[in-house]
A and B are shown apart, each in its own frame.
Chain A
């Protein structure tokens, strides 16, 4: 087994996926914070989505 190629492939793959996740987490995480804060300000209102 070519360990060098294997780890190169895994490293590139994970860096790419992580970059996408960081972008999605930044944008969609901000949306989730708005919802959480909305609930905390008005805990008696039903803010459930599911």
Chain B
């Protein structure tokens, strides 16, 4: 990184008072974990909070979980590069959640089935073999999915606090945050996750609104739109315009990922539905959460757009323009545009408020990590290890011990992946593809299992395997199998199929596999759908 970039990164309003605010907040989260440890008596309490979550606590925890710092960072990146055209993803997410809430599609029958995890439903509806395979694929895709969370989150902390982006600061922040989350999640399970999510909801919600108001006051409402049009043109507003970087296949792919999957198939969101006190509460939770499912994308997109306007047109951001958009012959590459948001916030927010917003963002970071750690570890315990032990089974205490051990193991993996993954995918696209490894198959198995009487075990197994084809959307895998080639003239990698196109083909393949194999190899004793 050039010295000008290092100097620009360090010009922030973050002070010692802000550091104290952040430290107090982190200490509070740890205390909650220690305090509620005594309530984690059995697995239902440990991973499902005894299914006693009320509607509004469910709404709070849903926002806490689904709006992670990584969401803020990759969404801001999308806003920075795509402008207001990226808003279509937020709108799709909100509308889909509202429809799921109104109809109870997938989540209603799952809650009625009284399962703790999605693979547990696979066993109830199909067989133990489907559960174990589904659990393995879910854990693999999900763990891969959270690989970049730590690094991206730490980049935000480094950017907003003005710590050095190189050297020891980034790994140190990564290790510190990780240790804290792992400890309180392992201690209190879902109960501490829910309580910390609530605190995070309060700080995060008001932090988001205040920072957005300040950004508008600083840059001017009309100027934000006019500058975006000047920099990005029509493509900065119309998602299907040429040059927008989106297009019809992308919009369609977003209906699947940000829409249906984001709220009704993604395990961390579904685990909230499964912990609710009733199906009625689940539906209410989803109806209200349609606002937060929109906002969790929309506000970070808007912040990314504001960062673009600040850097492109504001006198105070003039020193940043040659760093993010270097002219030809500048002698250095553009700095990572993930730093645009934290640098912008670091200069926008006054002291004390910057401490509160940083605490809110760390809250977002932790609330996602804790839920993901708990979700994947409980799937491995409940849906892979315990079923494989057969009649010998696992005692409740052994399950909790194993889940805690896996949480620590996942923490080690996330640290390793954050330090060493070299893929160059756009963060959101990386997450959509890795998540798709799990959810493409899960869409077919859940919809088939719940709503189609003739769905069979063979169909479910085939759909799960077919869904794994989404892995071909990942940059390094595409290069390996020839789906990307190096253009000799431009010396740039060219995609034969985009990640969105691979994802859509993979969903179609999984659905087709479910139908064809169910018809060819029906179950002898067909189970009734959970809907009934």
Chain B nearest CB, measured from A2 CB (Å):
9
Cα-based distance from A41 to B45 in the complex (angstroms)? 12
Chain B nearest CB, measured from A35 CB (Å):
6
Chain B nearest CB, measured from A17 CB (Å):
5
B212 interface neighbour in A15, A22, A43, Cβ under 8 Å: A15
Taking CB atoms and an 8 Å cut-off, the chain B residues in 7-64 that contact chain A are: 36, 39, 41, 45, 49-50, 52-60, 63
Secondary structure of the B side of the interface? Answer: helix
Chain A nearest CB, measured from B522 CB (Å):
38
Cα-based distance from A34 to B184 in the complex (angstroms)? 20
Taking CB atoms and an 8 Å cut-off, the chain B residues in 264-282 that contact chain A are: 277-278, 280-281
Q: Output the nearest chain A residue to B212 by Cβ-Cβ distance.
A: A15
Chain A residues with Cβ below 8 Å from B518 are none
Taking CB atoms and an 8 Å cut-off, the chain B residues in 290-311 that contact chain A are: 291-292, 294-295, 298-299, 302
Q: Which range contains the number of B residues in contact with the other chain?
A: 35 or more
A-B pair count, CB < 8 Å, reads: 110
CB pair B50 A43 closer than 8 Å: yes
A4 interface neighbour in B206, B225, B288, Cβ under 8 Å: B225
Chain A residues with Cβ below 8 Å from B113 are none
Taking CB atoms and an 8 Å cut-off, the chain A residues in 6-38 that contact chain B are: 7-8, 10-11, 14-15, 17-19, 21-22, 24-26, 28-33, 35-36
CB pair A24 B56 closer than 8 Å: yes
Chain A nearest CB, measured from B448 CB (Å):
31
A48 interface neighbour in B90, B206, B277, B280, Cβ under 8 Å: B277
CB pair B52 A47 closer than 8 Å: yes
Chain A residues with Cβ below 8 Å from B299 are 15, 18
Chain B nearest CB, measured from A15 CB (Å):
7
Q: Which range contains the number of A residues in contact with the other chain?
A: 20 to 34
Taking CB atoms and an 8 Å cut-off, the chain B residues in 404-460 that contact chain A are: none
Chain A residues with Cβ below 8 Å from B56 are 24-25, 28-29, 31-32
Chain A nearest CB, measured from B242 CB (Å):
14
B191 interface neighbour in A11, A25, A30, A40, Cβ under 8 Å: A40
CB pair A36 B225 closer than 8 Å: no
Cα-based distance from A26 to B216 in the complex (angstroms)? 25
A39 interface neighbour in B52, B85, B90, Cβ under 8 Å: B52
B60 interface neighbour in A3, A15, A25, A40, Cβ under 8 Å: A25
The yes or no answer to B253 lying at the interface (CB within 8 A) is no
In this complex, which of A28, A36, A48 has the most chain B Cβ atoms within 10 angstroms of its Cβ? A36
A36 interface neighbour in B52, B55, B91, B212, Cβ under 8 Å: B52
CB pair A25 B205 closer than 8 Å: yes
Cα-based distance from A15 to B52 in the complex (angstroms)? 30
Taking CB atoms and an 8 Å cut-off, the chain B residues in 79-107 that contact chain A are: 84-85, 87, 90-91, 94
Chain B nearest CB, measured from A47 CB (Å):
7
Chain B residues with Cβ below 8 Å from A21 are 59, 205, 288, 291-292
Q: Which residues of B contact A (CB under 8 A)?
A: 36, 39, 41, 45, 49-50, 52-60, 63, 84-85, 87, 90-91, 94, 191, 194-195, 198, 201-202, 205-206, 208-209, 212, 225, 229, 234, 237-238, 277-278, 280-281, 288, 291-292, 294-295, 298-299, 302
A-B contact pairs, 29 of them (CB 8 A): A3-B238, A4-B84, A4-B225, A4-B237, A7-B87, A7-B237, A10-B298, A11-B302, A15-B209, A15-B295, A15-B299, A17-B291, A18-B205, A18-B292, A18-B295, A21-B205, A21-B291, A21-B292, A22-B206, A26-B202, A28-B54, A29-B201, A32-B55, A32-B56, A36-B57, A36-B194, A40-B39, A40-B52, A50-B277
The 4 A-B residue pairs whose C-beta atoms are closest, nearest first, are A32-B54, A22-B205, A32-B57, A28-B56
